[in-house]
Every structure is written in structure tokens, then in C-alpha cells.
Amino acid sequence: MLVIIKDDYEAVSAEAARLVVNRMRKKPDLVLGLATGSTPLGLYAELIRMHKEEGLDFSKLTTFNLDEYVGLPHDHPESYRHFMQKNLFHGLNLDPRFVHIPDSLAMDIEDHCLWYEEQIAAAGGLDLQILGIGGNGHIAFNEPGSSLGSRTRVKTLTAKTREDNARFFGSLEDVPRFALTMGVGTIMEARELLLLASGEGKAEAIAASVEGPITAMVPASIVQMHPRAFLVVDRAAASKLSGEYATTFEEAVIVRRKV
Ligand code: PGA
């Protein structure tokens, strides 16, 4: 994995946008995995800016979101479908036929999860998956203890994740108990991973994921096994790392070539 440490959140977002746009320029029909949460917001704002100001074309892109709460109406302000519309899709020229988000209201959840996996495969697999990381080391809603080979399925949210997300719902009771999520195995099949983290609250999870043992108790630690994973983090999120890391992609690639 290539770890790149930037000064602050703005620099993390700019570096992430640079990598995504780079891939889009090489492959306009990129299959892009999208994440929700506060971390990718700066990246999404930059993609919208580049579409509006520089005419960056998203019409050939296919997207797959990582996860969704079970049971929320599609237009619920906290559904990830709503989140994506509000924070990214409204500002781009994506073709709605190529946009995929797990369905919070799927009647047959198991069947829907299988269908989701089939759609990813039919699109040719994920080229690049954007990831955040939970304070507990989760990726998507793969909570600690998730099988490292898991596929898209329903997961029970941990108390920690529900508490972390309660701020959006007003009260803990209103946070759904279940979510649909791509599995760790699904995510690991993406050809490239771009994991972003910002702030002190992520420092332990980042240190455990980068420098700790690979364990299902820190699902993000499996990223160590990925042949093309980029971790772009700010100084605060990197504060518990003990190794030496690069500050740009170019430097990171040179460092890697040396070893
Ligand atoms: P955040 O969430 O970006 O809002 O910190 C990340 C996550 O829980 O995966």
C-alpha cells in the first residue's frame, strides 16, 4: 500500500481528486466505487467543480455505492441514496442507468445482495473504490469481526457505529440497526483502492490498519494485502503511525520502487 500524508483535509481532498480524475482521463467509462460519510465530501466538491468549470465529463462513468441503511425510505434525509444525490450526483452529468446504490427497501435482501454483486461483475468489476474508515477500523459497514472474504450482505451495526452516526439522526434510537454493505472480499476485488482519512479520531484506526496485524477485528487492515491501495491521510489521522511515509504520489511511487 502507498501511504501519502498531506497537511490537512483540503490537501487530502485535492490529492484524492487528482487520482480519481487521472483515472477518468485514461478510462472515461471508469467503474468507480463511491463512499458516503463526511470524509469524501471535499473530494466530491472538487469533482463537481471540475465538471462545472472544466467540463469534466461523467456521462460514461458507472458507479457503485458501498452501502446503505436497511429500511429507510429512499428520500429519507439520512439515506445514502439521498446523501449521494445531495453531495455529488446533483452536480455531475452521470447517466442514472449507470448509478448503483444498494436498495434500502429491497423486499428480498439476500436476492438483492446477489444481484448487486452480479451488477458489479457485469460492469467488468470495480476499477477504483473510494473508502473512508470508521473509528473502529470498519470499511463500508464491515464492522470489526466481519469475514475478510465477505460479499455484499446485510450487517448488524455495532453500538459504536450507531453512536457515531446518531448525530445525523437526532437520537440513537432513530439510527437503523442494519445495513446492506459490499463485503470485504467484494472491496478487495477492486483493481485499485483509495482510502481517505482525516482527523485525530481516525489516528488509531489508521495506525492499526497500516502497521498492525491483519485481522478481522480491524477490517481495514486487509488493505495491506491489496496490490494497489493508496491511503491518503492528513497529519492528524497519521499521528499514531511510526513509519516514514511519502507526501506525494510521485514520492510514494519512488519510495516503493526502491524497496
Ligand atoms: P466518516 O465515516 O467519513 O464520516 O468519518 C467514515 C466511515 O465510517 O467509514
Report pLDDT digits (tens) over 172-217: 999 999 999 999 999 999 999 999 999 999 999 999 999 999 999 9
Tell me the CA–centroid distance for residue 239 and ligand 1, in Å: 18
Told to judge if 174 belongs to the known catalytic residues of this protein, a careful annotator would answer no
Active-site residue among 15, 46, 65, 67?
67
pTM for the model: 0.95
* Strands 128-131 and 31-34, bridge-based pairing: parallel
Q: CB of 14 within 8 A of CB of 8?
A: no
- Binned at pLDDT 50, 70 and 90, residue 253 comes out as confident
Tell me the CA–centroid distance for residue 42 and ligand 1, in Å: 13
Over range 57-77, report the average pLDDT: 97
Q: Which DSSP category does 91 fall into?
A: G
- Binned at pLDDT 50, 70 and 90, residue 246 comes out as confident
Q: Which residues of 120-131 are buried (b: 16+ CB within 10 A; e: fewer)?
A: beebeebbbbbb
Which atom in ligand 1 lies closest to the alpha carbon of residue 199? 5
Told to judge if 143 belongs to the known catalytic residues of this protein, a careful annotator would answer yes
Residue from 36, 67, 169 to probe ligand 1 pocket by mutation (most atoms less than 8 Å from CB): 36
Told to judge if 22 belongs to the known catalytic residues of this protein, a careful annotator would answer no
Query: Which residue intervals of the chain are DSSP H helices?
Result: 9-26, 41-54, 80-87, 109-122, 159-169, 184-188, 203-211, 249-258
Tell me the CA–centroid distance for residue 178 and ligand 1, in Å: 16
Tell me the CA–centroid distance for residue 36 and ligand 1, in Å: 7
Q: Check pLDDT > 70 for residue 29.
A: yes
With a 6 Å cutoff on the Cβ, whether 42 touches ligand 1 is: no
Count of C-beta atoms within a 10 Å radius of residue 242: 7
With a 6 Å cutoff on the Cβ, whether 137 touches ligand 1 is: no
With a 6 Å cutoff on the Cβ, whether 219 touches ligand 1 is: no
Q: What is the pLDDT of residue 257?
A: 60
> Tens digit of pLDDT for each residue in 105-154?
999 999 999 999 999 999 999 999 999 999 999 999 999 999 999 999 99
Q: What is the pLDDT of residue 259?
A: 45
Which atom in ligand 1 lies closest to the alpha carbon of residue 198? 5
Q: What integer best gives the mean pLDDT of the chain?
A: 95
Percent of the chain with pLDDT strictly greater than 70: 98
> Tens digit of pLDDT for each residue in 93-106?
999 999 999 999 99
Closest residue (by CA) to atom 2 of ligand 1? Answer: 37
